[in-house]
Amino acid sequence: MAALTLATDDTGGPEIFASLQGEGPSAGMPVAFIRTSRCNLACVWCDTPYTWHFEGDDRSHRDGTTFARKDNQVTLSPQQAAAQIAALRQNRLVITGGEPLLQAGALAEMLEHLPHISVEIETNGTVKPPARIDIRVDQYNVSPKLAHSGNAGELALIPERIDEFAADPRAYFKFVIGTPDDVDEVIALRRKFRLAPDRVFLMAEGTDSNTLRNRQKWLSVLCLEHGFRLSDRLHIHLYGDTRAT
């Protein structure tokens, strides 16, 4: 039985918690969250670098901080994780990271102990979901990383994976936007992969309300112009840039 490697909250326990979904098509819904550790990409603006930017990792992050792995990772069995999620008494679960699909087997085993919960997976769109977990997923929140993330295109934008998610009616696409030029990249991806605009969310990059609001002023105009949907980050406004929120 594979163990799950999870991010930690501020107490050192696993980051399993109840909150309102802050982003994307389910924003505002009460949900349970579980945050996995480890990622195959390294976004320079990532707001959860404690899930991957450990000491000795020379990949870039804008604030340069690295984290002690032993203080920011905890392992649980799938059954233990399922029990903690069930105790939150929510009808919907958001699996986030890191990149959750790197641990698809253990997550699938966890979900087998949670047969009546609706499941969202937040993914960077580079990993194919195995059938064992795919059958239990109600919604994919796919966030392909644009050039400003600092990731090489051949690592972050894998055509076969994007095609597969684009053909899946459960999948929504959420792009992190820092400047108007980033929207041009989204438009090109929409055309290349025939993404339905009403399944595309643009979300301003930022970890404080002031930055988000300022960027949303011009981003909302571009959403109107191109038929995209605007995603806020409700948890930032409610709780700030903090763990387990």
pTM above 0.95, yes or no: yes
| Predicted pLDDT of residue 116 | 96
Count up the domains in the chain and report the number.
1
pLDDT at res. 155: 97
Do the Cβ atoms of 204 and 219 come closer than 8 Å? yes
Tens-place pLDDT, residues 154-205: 999 999 999 999 999 999 999 999 999 999 999 999 999 999 999 999 999 9
What's the pLDDT at 176? 98
- Within 44-131, strands assigned E span 73-76, 92-96, 118-123
Domain that holds residue 154: 4-174
pLDDT at 147: 98
Residue 16 host element (H or E): strand 16-20
DSSP SS3 for 81: helix
- Does residue 141 fall inside a structural domain? yes
Which candidate, 46, 24, 19, 229, places its Cα nearest to that of 139?
24
Segment 59-112, tens digit of pLDDT: 999 998 999 999 999 999 999 999 999 999 999 999 999 999 999 999 999 999
**Is there a domain that residue 221 lies in?**
no
154 part of a folded domain: yes
CATH code where residue 64 lies: 3.20.20.70
Tell which phi-psi region holds residue 212, choosing left (phi > 0), alpha (psi between -120 and 50) or beta. alpha
Within-domain flag for 202 = no
120 is a domain residue: yes
- Residue 113 domain-assigned? yes
- Does residue 147 lie within any of the structural domains? yes
Instruction: Please determine, for residue 1, whether its predicted confidence score (pLDDT) is greater than 80.
Output: no
Q: Is residue 243 part of a domain?
A: no
Q: What is the mean pLDDT of the chain?
A: 97
Q: Which of 59, 200, 222, 188 is nearest to 143 (CA)?
A: 200
Phi, psi of 152 (to 5 degrees): -65, 140
Residue from 156, 164, 115 nearest 135 by CA: 115
